[in-house]
Amino acid sequence: MTRFQFSVSATDGAARTGSITMQRGTIRTPAFMPVGTAATVKGLRPAEVRAAGADIILGNTYHLMLRPSAERIHRLGGLHAFMGWDRPILTDSGGYQVMSLSALTKRSEDGVAFASHLDGTRHMMSPERSIEIQRLLGSDIVMAFDELVALPAAREVVEAAMARSMRWAARSRAAFDSAPEHANVAALFGIQQGGLDERLRAESASALRAIGFDGYAIGGLAVGEGQPAMFGVLDYACDQLPADAPRYLMGVGKPDDIVGAVLRGVDMFDCVLPTRSGRNGQAFTHDGPVNIRNAKHAEDLAPLDKDCPCPVCHGPAAVSRAYLHHLVKSGEMLGAMLMTEHNIGFYQALMAGLRAAIAAQRLNAFADGFLSRYTAR
């Protein structure tokens, strides 16, 4: 049984395509992970997520620990059985949600004490507790617990959070290794921090490499800095991390963000945008985002995207913009479901296109063609 194996099959500039092999299946890279926050990719059944092309999904430690609780999910057979998804699951550490959603947070070297955004009950999230929750869930890829800083922030604040995150990374590693039954079948990723500062990023990467992880996430981006600044960090951050391990850009993003990050060497992504936007009437297309609520779509019989292979746009079950406009404006749940199915399918088709372009050594042409059309409006 293969615990975790990352291989690169082709490169094109800084970009690479390959695969991650684990006990529950192979993840083709570059990969986009739909977000299943509360044990569901909102609006879709697991079979539909898989049919769209997703090899892996993301589960959320913070939300699942609060409801229904990691202990209950464990008693019920683990997250895979609980939600009916038999392929790999990456669980985030919960750090982002603890610091962005919770009330009355108090940070210390031990961890973060916080009040639940659901009912105000008090909890403590530490590196050890985060790893324990992810183990109870049965995660395939476990994330180290880190401290997030929203940007912009003073350099001393970013530096202190980075240094603490590295201490927490070592504790996360120790906690993960302390339960070999899970560690022998799962993987652990460390998270690079350091804001927009190249020296701090290098220091963080050095600390993570010394500890040793199966993969390395680039954290602390997509938190207010803007795309040019994010790309500026990626121009050097990828090279600071091991070339023989996958690089995961957390919480990103829009289609043009993903294309730019792949060009710079990123292998894995996650974001709530395709599902959240779908529920709110926005579709991603090759010609840019479409707000299906706009009156101009009320009698438009065209599909959302004539070049999208998803079932919402093509095939016997395809529907028109006019029908989607009606559903969304009427508040019908089918509207949100179909819009989400399209968005997830569009993202997965984009990843397949990027993988094929890298393999064929034509990534620049693919990226230029995609971005010129996507951003034309």
Active-site residue numbers?
92, 270
Question: b/e map of 111-147 (b: 16 or more CB within 10 Å)?
Answer: bbbbebeeeeeebebbbbbbbbbbbbbbbbbbbbbbb
Beta strands 141-143 and 187-192, pairing class: parallel
Question: Which backbone phi and psi does 2 adopt, to 5 degrees?
Answer: -85, 120
DSSP, res 214: S
| CB-CB contact of 338 with 324 (8 Å) | yes
CB-count exposure of residue 156 (10 Å: 0-12, 13-18, 19+): exposed
3-state secondary structure of 334: helix
133-to-104, 137, 144, 159, 252 alpha-carbon distances in Å: 22, 6, 12, 28, 24
Q: What number of H helices and E strands is found in the chain? A: 15, 16
Residues 352, 29: Cα–Cα separation, whole Å:
9
